[in-house]
Amino acid sequence: MKAFIAASLLVSLCACSSLSDRPYPLEVVTSENSSERVRFLVMHYTAIDFDRSLRALTLPSNNPVSSHYLIPERDDPSYPHDELKVFQLVDEHRRAWHAGPGKWEDREQVNDQSIGIEIVNRAHCHPPMEQTKAGICFFPEFDREQIELVIQLSKDILARNPDITPTRVVGHGDILPQFKNDPGPRFPWQQLAAAGVGAWYDDATVIRYFDQLSAATETDPADSEREFVGLLAAYGYGIDPKDYTETDLSLYVSAFQYHFRAWKVDGEIDAHSHAILLALIEKYFPENLPENYRTGTMPETDG
């Protein structure tokens, strides 16, 4: 079966006829009223080894899933090659089934508008106990050579898909925090951003906002929460600023922290998380920065 799957990967997954093959006269007039289909790049971890991942992503099942690419890791006994390589499973022009009902920006059919990369990493979570409602997760480090492949592949994808801006390189947990947390807290988002893949904040800007927020002793916590949720939505997260629950808030704050403050994921809004979000908004969506930050004014302080 392994040989069959490996051989099948060498076969093109779609056959596209050229315009000259059409059995009717055709003239092409390019319209200016169009856009690229691909808007997002979504990162995942597989939670299982290479062999099981390849089977799950390519063979029929009762719960069919797929992605455009699969990237193995070293020291995986199920990986049959000496050299790490990128495996393409679905042509980029076709829809892979990797994002589920995920939402980002104003888009809800993320599968229709994205390219998905599955990265072999055996992270796993023990389900919560009924008594405590709390679970426990284990997140192994990603393979250094594997991440280099992720970066090379991602840069290649970005070069072909100019609508994937830095804030549109996201994790599965960013677009579907109700059910997913991959690629998890050990995924090196900062390293990717430094290589030109995805978004990251500037430390000095975070410090500036942290100092401002820490000094604002008269700020109403409810107002701060509403501001934070509005900024999450402005950045791209699918939370509704006008209609969200405490559970929604905790899930989306945790998703944000998994991506941008992975060393402390607690689902709680604090000055550090708030400052990081403000720094990201200033860098990528300055028009959405609240007026009091743009003018340099802050709520009344006691000093």
Q: What CATH number does residue 118 fall under? A: 3.40.80.10
- Within-domain flag for 21: no
Across the range 95-99, mean pLDDT stands at 95
Same-domain check for residues 244 and 282? yes
Same-domain check for residues 109 and 62? yes
- Both tokens of 90, joined, read 């679905």
- Within-domain flag for 182: yes
pLDDT, one tens digit per residue, over 21-77 is 788 998 989 899 877 789 999 999 999 999 999 999 999 999 999 999 999 999 999
What are the catalytic residues?
118
Across the range 237-262, mean pLDDT stands at 97
Same-domain check for residues 69 and 176? yes
Report the candidate in 287, 141, 269, 284 with the shortest Cα–Cα distance to residue 200: 284
Same-domain check for residues 180 and 228? no
The C-alpha angle 155, 157, 160, rounded to 5 degrees, equals: 110
pLDDT at 161: 96
Same-domain check for residues 47 and 158? yes
Report the candidate in 177, 179, 184, 181 with the shortest Cα–Cα distance to residue 139: 184
- Say whether 115 sits in a helix, a strand or coil: strand
Per-residue CA distances from 222 to 219, 238, 279 (Å): 9, 20, 21
Out of 194, 220, 238, a domain closes at: 194
Out of 177, 194, 211, a domain closes at: 194
pLDDT at 217: 74
pLDDT at 303: 40
> What is the domain count for the chain?
2
Kindly tell me if the per-residue pLDDT of 4 is higher than 70.
no
pLDDT, one tens digit per residue, over 155-169 is 999 999 999 999 999
pLDDT at 130: 56
Same-domain check for residues 113 and 156? yes
pLDDT at 298: 53
Name which residue leads in pLDDT, 23 or 171: 171
pLDDT, one tens digit per residue, over 217-240 is 777 889 999 999 999 999 999 999
Report the percentage of the chain scoring pLDDT > 70: 88
Distance CA 87, CA 95 (A): 16
Question: Which amino acid, residue 178?
Answer: Q
- Within-domain flag for 274: yes
pLDDT, one tens digit per residue, over 130-156 is 544 567 899 999 999 999 999 999 999
Across the chain, mean pLDDT equals: 89
Dihedrals phi, psi of 3, to nearest 5 degrees:
-65, -40
Distance CA 183, CA 100 (A): 15
